Structure 1
Amino acid sequence: MKKNQIYAIVDIEATGASIGRDERMIQFACVLLKNGEIIEIFDSYVNPSRKVSRLIRNLTGITSKDLATAPYFEDIAQPIHRLLEDTIFVAHNVAFDFDFLNESFKRAGMPALDIPAIDTVQLSQILFPKEESYRLKNLTASLGYTLDYAHNALFDAKATAYLLKKLDEKLKGLPLVTLEKLAELSGATIAETSLFFKQALYEMKKQPVDLDDSLMIVEGLALKKLKSDSEQLDHRKSHTYPYKESDKRAQLESMGLNYRESQNQMMNTVFNYLKKEHPEPVQFIEAPAGSGKTFGYLYPSLYLSSPEEKVVLSTYTKLLQRQLVEDNLPQLLDRLPFDKTIALMKSPSHYLSLSAFYTKLKNIDINDTEAFFCMKLLVWLTETDEGDLEEIGLGKTLHHTFWTEVKSTLDAKNQLDSFKEMDYLARREKRLKNASILVGNHAYLFSEWQHHPGRFNKAKVLLDEAHHVPDVIEQNATMKLSVKTLTNELKQLGSKEKEDTLLYECLKLLPSQNIKEYQLDTLHSTVSIVSEEWEMWCRKWTDWLMHNDAYEDHVAEWKEKTVYYDQLPLDIKRDTKFFCRNLEELVYVGRQLTQFLDTADQDLPKNEQRLLSKINVMLDHFSTVIDRLNYLFSSKNPSNPTIIRFYSKNPLATLNFYRFDQKIKDQLLKELNKTEHLILTSSTLTVNGSVSYLKKQLGIEKERLNRYPSSYNYKEQARFYVTKDVDTSAQKNSSVSASFITDLIERILSKTDENCLVLFRSHDMIQRVYKRLNQRGQLKDRTILAQNISGSTTKIKKQFKKAKQSVLLGSDSFWEGVDFPLDELKIVIITKLPFDSPEMPVVKRRHQTLRESGENPFVTDLLPRAVIKFKQGIGRLIRSEQDKGAWIVLDRRFVEASYASLFIDSLPECLDINERSLDEISEELTKFFDQ
């Protein structure tokens, strides 16, 4: 920040977050900062002369009484205007606060402010590139500041002042070469945010500092120095695995971990299995929540692994994968008497190509959005060890062509010699070779087996959350085509007449030695034809789907349909062939334009190289689309149809096509079973005490199963109820069933304030119940959230955590993988046993295969999958020894069906089943939670 300059950090609360829609201010706060110190604070509520919605009042904490006694904006407009004169205006999302304030001045008959404005959101995105969230509360919390009352203008302004100082510190700590490039590219930022970079550069040039020892300069880029990836082995010492309970207990407790007997048993099982030279059976381990499963396999793996005998650990989610590498394994290694190298396994496309980025940086247009991306990367390069682009929060920009252009590829023909030693992909390969523990996820592992057979067969492989493995194999064996991706790329190519498109930018370069006008005209015409045909082709599909007899447009959900080639309308068959031919023509014409990239790469002017490279990336993808279209719609095999999936609210933009390939599945199962040491673990592997379902799904011939009890006291910590209340009309009228479920939820929650998760199997039912709960108003003091209505899964989870007395209606992903520890969740209501719908195309295909082999699909597929999913739903509660919770099952099949024993046996031991009426359940819950 500039010395002696006053920075006005402003935050505004209003009746709405829109400019130009006659919204009104309800609070204005300003913190004046000079030389890093607060010199003045101004804060006032503002009477908006209108009613403020309950949503805004709840969000801000501002009451109607606060506003009724507050001054009108016209009364304080002049003092605010004087206060801000000669300052630099700063806000977190300055585009809103600055424009909204000037709009308010105009309404009050005063001139707009004519002062520089700086945005701390963009500054943060550039200078803190690894942050997961740039919301003010989350960002400042990550930097060590507690924002007690978010959405109160004064508290937000103070938090933003703290953030501005942190941004200034970060900027001044960057290398001079990085700061010079940031200042050069800063024109890509909004308002006058570039002043922040230019002032820092001016001061650094006056008082330059030495380059930090952790950094190095290569071709003008400041990079973090290489870390050694080799293990420092001490061959004079032998580290013996501690079999004894006392030794293990002492070591684990020194790490701050609780010793559990079941965890000790699991550790010994894993160790004994992995140390065998040729173990015959596959080892299954079922370890329930709270048994310490993760450390149960990490601990022995560290003792047995080496660069020559690697242990491959695979998880279902990337989140857990990162957790193992960044938290769990370092925590263990910090206290173990040896060191091991850990490597994260990801595909090449996750890593930045320094050569590609360097080339991009030389050819960047400083007024382009890509300049902003480059600024973010320049700072990130001073921090990253691995060059993994997932470290950066790309958000909605993830699919921008920029990221495709700067990613690494296995084909390194354009790599610059100066970056070979620092190349992140080469370093990844070296880490994988030198590491003892390799950590990946199931999708990556099976993708590697598909493209590089035998890749990990010599390693010892452990799959966590292994109940997902059959579905992951199916997904890897399924070809996918997304309509939205191709639509967006055709729009980016655009036309010669449309601004901000690649063809328009090419036209501006004429005359050119490399870009011929006739080539550009031909490409323009071809893109126009292909774009029009693509839109018509997509519309024909959605029209055909939506006019289907079974289509219900009142349900907002993802819909699926099986497509058999022989049943397709003739015009769709014909248009698919025509479109493929025209897309091939587009690729051919486009290659004529971009051919100079391979031959005269270094001689091309910067702008030409930048544009032609973008077009070339798109052409590569178009070639892939042609292959996929031919695969999806050329086969007449009825046993392997194409599946269409789309979201009913916006079918055209969400249309996706899938087709399963049995040969790929067979190949993946073969690779899995070639693994000599294979452990599959999860909290939900068994059905009726057996792994026969998963064993059959994965083609495993011999297995050994170890199951461990939970360390939780379910008799004291939990209650399990099955309601006696029955809706006799449920099977006849879904509307009545929705009313019945709504009644039950209201009655259960009428006497308790605890947060509740209601699990469904139907999105239609979620929407019906959500509507009724809001209409009736019996739970008006509760926050009611619903999947596909209240936002994304992540957003809903955050809202659920934040709000008190919450009710969450969920399906699919909420049955598993979403944890609500401690006081965040106390009640889980299961409305229906989680059987897959037999009408789903994927399920239909699976069941057709089973029938052809003479098997009963319900017994061999639907039932075991439902039991495993039910066990996952049960796992949403009791995540620690302090947790208390209750499950309530509304489906009487749980105790009355012929298969009820399978579900009952899946419950934790010592958990009694209580059959009660809803009134009795409410009374007992009140007493239970009050204990």
Structure 2
Amino acid sequence: MSDRSFAVVDLETTGTQRHAGNKIIQFGCALIEDNQIIEHISITINPERSVPREVLALTGIREASLKTAPTFDEVAPALHQLLIDKIFIAHNVNFDLPFLNEAFENVGLEAIDPIALDTVELAQIMLPQAASYRLKDLSTFLNIVHKHPHQADSDAIATAKIFLLLLKQIEQLPRPVLQQMVQLSRYLSRQTGEVFEQALRQKATQELPSYLQQVGEFVLRCSRSDDSSTIIHANDHYPISDADKRQQFGQKIKPRATQFAMMDFIHQYQDQGEPNKLVIEAPTGVGKSLGYLLPLSYTLTGANRRRLVVTTSTTVLQTQLFRQAVPLLNHLRDLNFKVALLKSASHYLDFDRLAAYLRHGAKNRGTAINEMRIIIWLTQTQTGDLDELQITNYETEFFQSINHLPTLVPSSRYYQVDFWHKIVSDAANAQIVITNNAYLAQHIKDFTPEQNVLVIDEAQHFAEDLTHSSHGYFSVMRLHNRLNQIIELIRSLQDNYDAEPALERIQPDLLSCQLLLTETIKRTHDLNDQILLLAQQNFIRETVYLQTEDFLHHQTGLLRALNHVISNLDRYLDAVESLEATIGQEELRPNSSQKVMELIFHNNKLEQLQTHLLEAVDHLQDREFKQYGFYLDLDDDGINYELNWLAKSHEALRQAIDKQFPLQVYTGASLAVGRDFSYFLNQLDLKPEQVHSLRLNSPFLYQEKAELLLPQETYSPSENGADYDNWIVNTILPVLKQTDRQTLILFNSLASIKNVYVRLQQVLGFKREVMAQGITGSNDKIAKRFRLAKDAILLGSQSFWEGIDFPGEQLSLLIITRIPFESPKNPTTHYRSSLLKAQNISPFTADTLPKAILKLKQGFGRLIRTETDRGIVLMLDERVINSSYAAQVQQAFPEKLPKLILPNQQLGHHIQDFFAD
């Protein structure tokens, strides 16, 4: 295809709806011949109608230049002649080509019908790890100069450069990969798939490059050879003095006195030969990751050769440590430590499940693109970690059908290259394992005796994460619905047997499965009755907390009903496993093949549901039964309910952790309320005399770098819902209009984010990029896009309160909508409150308030990340100054942080003046 002539087109229009009277205002085109851009064309066009101000602002086109420009009917013949014999390329071809054709037809010219290619789809396939496929972001990702986004000529040139790079990558694909691409490419838009067909026709050799290998039907990246070294170097003794540390840091890493203090504190206790728990509050700017990694690294290469496990609260923080902190450690130690990034199996790709989906899965444009990008990604990834793909939603049927189940099958042809198998093996031999709290809690018995040093990073979450790790649930109605869906699929396969011989041969197996499912459904009715009897209610309207005495009379009946359901599920799953193996050897028609894939998907889900039932039986029979809280809660749909269980204490798990890890280091930026660690220690049932604690001072001069602003006119944050969200919008919109600084807005509620996002997008979306958690992409994806932007607005909750690093001008304005009090409806909160009330202790004073203060402290920590940062916090919650606990809440902010209360209409002007200074 490289020998053809291409016209890469971009249009700017008065609006996106072509049937609503919208017109073209700019035509841009880059002409490609012999894989080179030979010419580019830019024409401004008079639309003969008014142009929305947001379009003018976005494109930078002046209204005066439009009035003097030629109309479309004047330029149309030349454009028609230019394009009619060329391959048409656009970044979203299904917008540009139809829009252009309608404009041609409106002036009496025939619509053109060229070969048309879409660079969005090609980029999605060939660049599977890109954070965004918008033209501006792709240009940045590929280091393409794109000076004037949203101007047709600049966009067309950028698109042409992207296309040439993608075309080169496609032409370099191995023949087996191209064959898979061609099989799937017929689902792509227009003739986009012809790029792969042409590349396959020109690919003569079958030979794979040395960095690739073929296993089964997949071409994979070869594993890197393990060149990790544990040879003891000259710098294998911890640098005791600050001068020694500065010499070791050299010129590349800035020495910090507070970081040195943290290192010395850990070094003091790490080799005493007795169990030690260290608690260190390390504010932003201390460099805590290196602060614990460097001193502990000497225990990894010393005589005892201990091994280190680092655990964090989220997988995002895991990745950050792996990609940023460990390379710095390797540089300082002049070593290459063996490091494993350990997550649960569901984060990884399963080759067998992917192969099954490629054979039987539903095919449409969306799934075909996903399958193609996975195939390309396999030639690139060393980890098989699906998070690399930065997908917005991993809960779709496609990704739930290809991710790894928590089992390894040695008989699989892919066993030796299985990503999950490899990561588990690597972790067993690694000097440093980086995992998360949930994995640590669930797999504490899997760590080796040598892995006996534990660091809990962002330790303020550790107690809560341990509690959540015990949380389990099942929904009888969800199980019932799943069983009915499976029966319908089996009946559908039974109905088609007369037209399809392969189905006729498996009719006895289908009938057997159907009968087993019917019996299981009956058993779910019995189980539902037992649960409602336990709750003493006919149906569930709100959360029902079950007391221990509720189980005394009904526990036997409940266990009997659970065991009957589990037993029936066992028989069905055994039968259907044999059925799936038989089907896999048959040639099926596309419709039947799709139903089989759906059946496999539902059976996998059914197996997961059965696991939850087994856990329930274990907990109900556990001698520590009274340590668990059981409650009934409404499902997300507000109709079905779930039976949940949650450990009221994590004493047994804490004992297992103490046994495995004699040395434990707890660190985070917000462990103390003011100067007091009591709340943190109480959460872990620790006494002050059981720990060695250190509280480091912040290295930042907040009195010179930042301000806390509060509006004079406020709205009670106790008022939830649309009214409060409208007040937020009305307060911050004038501020956001008056400043173009990168802005992070922190919420307590995803529902509030949605309400506020809609209004901000309507008013500001034409001028500034507005991103929102749960709406515009995955957390990791929008965080990366925010870092690349210049004047963006990000609305976030939950994980955006902490652990997200936006240094320098990546974040200048932080808006906090309210004090982050935890919902009293949260079951964990309920059990903590019950326990405190039983001891005549105020839950608000002892738990709710300090927890909110620490989270607010974390939120503020997003703003100033380096010594050169400057920024403003706009706090919208009046309770920071007008409440009986205001003085305690203000402990979340640095002591010397200037605080100002201003009339609402002056907030934007003041922020402008602050940054102007």
Per the alignment, in what secondary structure is the counterpart of residue 168 of structure 2?
Answer: helix
More moved, 438-447 vs 386-395: 386-395
CA contact (8 A) 2:753 2:773 kept: no
Is the aligned partner of 1:476 residue 2:469? yes
Shift of 1:196: 1.0
More moved, 790-799 vs 266-275: 790-799
- Aligned partner (choices 241, 263, 269) of residue 267 of structure 1: 263
CA contact (8 A) 2:13 2:26 kept: yes
More moved, 837-846 vs 339-348: 837-846
Shift of 1:907: 3.3
Task: Report the counterpart of residue 545 of structure 1 in structure 2.
Answer: none
Shift of 1:481: 6.0
Task: Report the counterpart of residue 301 of structure 1 in structure 2.
Answer: 296
Is the aligned partner of 1:433 residue 2:428? yes
More moved, 655-664 vs 515-524: 515-524
Shift of 1:671: 3.1
Distance in 2 (CA, whole Å) between partners of 1:857 and 1:269 is 34
- Aligned partner (choices 283, 306, 312) of residue 288 of structure 1: 283
Distance in 2 (CA, whole Å) between partners of 1:109 and 1:581 is 73
Q: How does 1:186-225 map to 2 (within 5 A)?
A: 186-205=185-204, 208=205, 211-219=208-216, 221-225=218-222
- AA aligned to 2:384 is G
Task: Report the counterpart of residue 113 of structure 2 in structure 1.
Answer: 114
CA contact (8 A) 1:13 1:153 kept: yes
CA 1:354 to 1:895, structure 2 compared with 1: closer, same or farther past 3 Å?
Answer: closer
Distance in 1 (CA, whole Å) between partners of 2:185 and 2:795 is 45
Task: Report the counterpart of residue 851 of structure 1 in structure 2.
Answer: 837
Distance in 2 (CA, whole Å) between partners of 1:468 and 1:108 is 65
CA 1:372 to 1:46, structure 2 compared with 1: closer, same or farther past 3 Å?
Answer: same
How far does the alpha carbon of each residue in 1:60-115 deviate from its partner, in whole angstroms, 9 at most, with x for none?
Answer: 33344444444443433332222122222222222332333334334444333222
Per the alignment, in what secondary structure is the counterpart of residue 144 of structure 1?
Answer: coil
Shift of 1:411: 3.3
Distance in 2 (CA, whole Å) between partners of 1:74 and 1:136 is 29
- Aligned partner (choices 860, 863, 866) of residue 852 of structure 2: 866
Shift of 1:412: 0.3
Per the alignment, in what secondary structure is the counterpart of residue 877 of structure 1?
Answer: coil
CA contact (8 A) 1:117 1:191 kept: yes
CA contact (8 A) 2:498 2:504 kept: no
Shift of 1:916: 7.3
Q: How does 1:639-718 map to 2 (within 5 A)?
A: 640=629, 642=631, 644=633, 657=642, 659-662=644-647, 665-674=650-659, 675-701=661-687, 702-718=690-706
CA contact (8 A) 1:785 1:796 kept: no
Shift of 1:11: 1.9
Shift of 1:662: 1.4
Shift of 1:641: 5.2
TM-score (norm 1): 0.80
Shift of 1:247: 2.2
Per the alignment, in what secondary structure is the counterpart of residue 503 of structure 2?
Answer: coil
CA contact (8 A) 1:48 1:72 kept: yes
Shift of 1:2: 2.9
Distance in 1 (CA, whole Å) between partners of 2:395 and 2:715 is 50
CA 1:691 to 1:643, structure 2 compared with 1: closer, same or farther past 3 Å?
Answer: farther
Per the alignment, in what secondary structure is the counterpart of residue 443 of structure 2?
Answer: helix
Per the alignment, in what secondary structure is the counterpart of residue 138 of structure 1?
Answer: helix
- AA aligned to 2:653 is L
Shift of 1:684: 0.3
How far does the alpha carbon of each residue in 1:410-451 deviate from its partner, in whole angstroms, 9 at most, with x for none?
Answer: 2305412xx4443333322331122111111223222323xx
Distance in 2 (CA, whole Å) between partners of 1:628 and 1:421 is 30
How far does the alpha carbon of each residue in 1:139-194 deviate from its partner, in whole angstroms, 9 at most, with x for none?
Answer: 22111113222222222211111111111221233333333433344334332222
- Aligned partner (choices 500, 506, 515) of residue 515 of structure 1: 506
- AA aligned to 1:187 is R
CA contact (8 A) 1:453 1:671 kept: no
Task: Report the counterpart of residue 586 of structure 2 in structure 1.
Answer: 604
Task: Report the counterpart of residue 239 of structure 1 in structure 2.
Answer: 236
CA contact (8 A) 2:13 2:22 kept: yes
Distance in 1 (CA, whole Å) between partners of 2:759 and 2:892 is 33
How far does the alpha carbon of each residue in 1:785-809 deviate from its partner, in whole angstroms, 9 at most, with x for none?
Answer: 6968985685887897788887777
CA contact (8 A) 1:405 1:614 kept: no
Instruction: Name stretches of at least 5 consecutive residues in structure 1 with no aligned partner.
Output: 542-547, 552-559, 568-576
How far does the alpha carbon of each residue in 1:42-72 deviate from its partner, in whole angstroms, 9 at most, with x for none?
Answer: 3323444444433433333334444444444
Shift of 1:352: 3.1
Per the alignment, in what secondary structure is the counterpart of residue 62 of structure 1?
Answer: coil
Shift of 1:683: 0.6
How far does the alpha carbon of each residue in 1:222-253 deviate from its partner, in whole angstroms, 9 at most, with x for none?
Answer: 33223233633335867212122122113223
Distance in 1 (CA, whole Å) between partners of 2:899 and 2:147 is 43
CA contact (8 A) 1:27 1:153 kept: yes
Shift of 1:706: 0.7
Distance in 1 (CA, whole Å) between partners of 2:761 and 2:365 is 46
More moved, 742-751 vs 707-716: 742-751
Distance in 2 (CA, whole Å) between partners of 1:523 and 1:53 is 60
Task: Report the counterpart of residue 603 of structure 2 in structure 1.
Answer: 619
Identity of aligned residues (%): 29
Shift of 1:285: 0.8
- AA aligned to 1:706 is L
- AA aligned to 2:455 is L
Distance in 1 (CA, whole Å) between partners of 2:437 and 2:446 is 15
CA 1:422 to 1:212, structure 2 compared with 1: closer, same or farther past 3 Å?
Answer: same
How far does the alpha carbon of each residue in 1:113-157 deviate from its partner, in whole angstroms, 9 at most, with x for none?
Answer: 222222222222222222222222222211111322222222221
Q: How does 1:360-375 map to 2 (within 5 A)?
A: 372-375=369-372
How far does the alpha carbon of each residue in 1:703-732 deviate from its partner, in whole angstroms, 9 at most, with x for none?
Answer: 221111111112222334667x57698889
More moved, 635-644 vs 183-192: 635-644
Distance in 1 (CA, whole Å) between partners of 2:368 and 2:756 is 48
Distance in 1 (CA, whole Å) between partners of 2:766 and 2:180 is 53
Distance in 2 (CA, whole Å) between partners of 1:131 and 1:51 is 37
Task: Report the counterpart of residue 310 of structure 2 in structure 1.
Answer: 313
CA 1:38 to 1:855, structure 2 compared with 1: closer, same or farther past 3 Å?
Answer: same
Task: Report the counterpart of residue 557 of structure 1 in structure 2.
Answer: none
- AA aligned to 2:506 is I
Per the alignment, in what secondary structure is the counterpart of residue 273 of structure 2?
Answer: coil
Task: Report the counterpart of residue 536 of structure 2 in structure 1.
Answer: none
Task: Report the counterpart of residue 553 of structure 2 in structure 1.
Answer: none
Distance in 2 (CA, whole Å) between partners of 1:316 and 1:489 is 32
How far does the alpha carbon of each residue in 1:823-846 deviate from its partner, in whole angstroms, 9 at most, with x for none?
Answer: 354444556543334355543343
Q: How does 1:137-536 map to 2 (within 5 A)?
A: 137-205=136-204, 208=205, 211-219=208-216, 221-229=218-226, 231-234=228-231, 239-254=236-251, 256-280=252-276, 282-305=277-300, 309-357=306-354, 372-396=369-393, 399-401=396-398, 404-405=401-402, 407=404, 409-416=406-413, 419-449=414-444, 452=445, 458-479=451-472, 509-510=500-501, 512-516=503-507, 519=510
Shift of 1:492: 8.5
Distance in 2 (CA, whole Å) between partners of 1:105 and 1:523 is 59
Per the alignment, in what secondary structure is the counterpart of residue 472 of structure 1?
Answer: helix
- AA aligned to 1:443 is A
Task: Report the counterpart of residue 572 of structure 1 in structure 2.
Answer: none
- AA aligned to 1:662 is A
Shift of 1:14: 2.9
CA contact (8 A) 1:46 1:73 kept: yes
CA contact (8 A) 1:229 1:435 kept: no
Distance in 2 (CA, whole Å) between partners of 1:900 and 1:23 is 54
Distance in 1 (CA, whole Å) between partners of 2:487 and 2:74 is 51
Task: Report the counterpart of residue 881 of structure 1 in structure 2.
Answer: 867
More moved, 235-244 vs 892-901: 892-901
Task: Report the counterpart of residue 555 of structure 2 in structure 1.
Answer: none
Instruction: Name stretches of at least 5 consecutive residues in structure 2 with no aligned partner.
Output: 533-538, 551-559
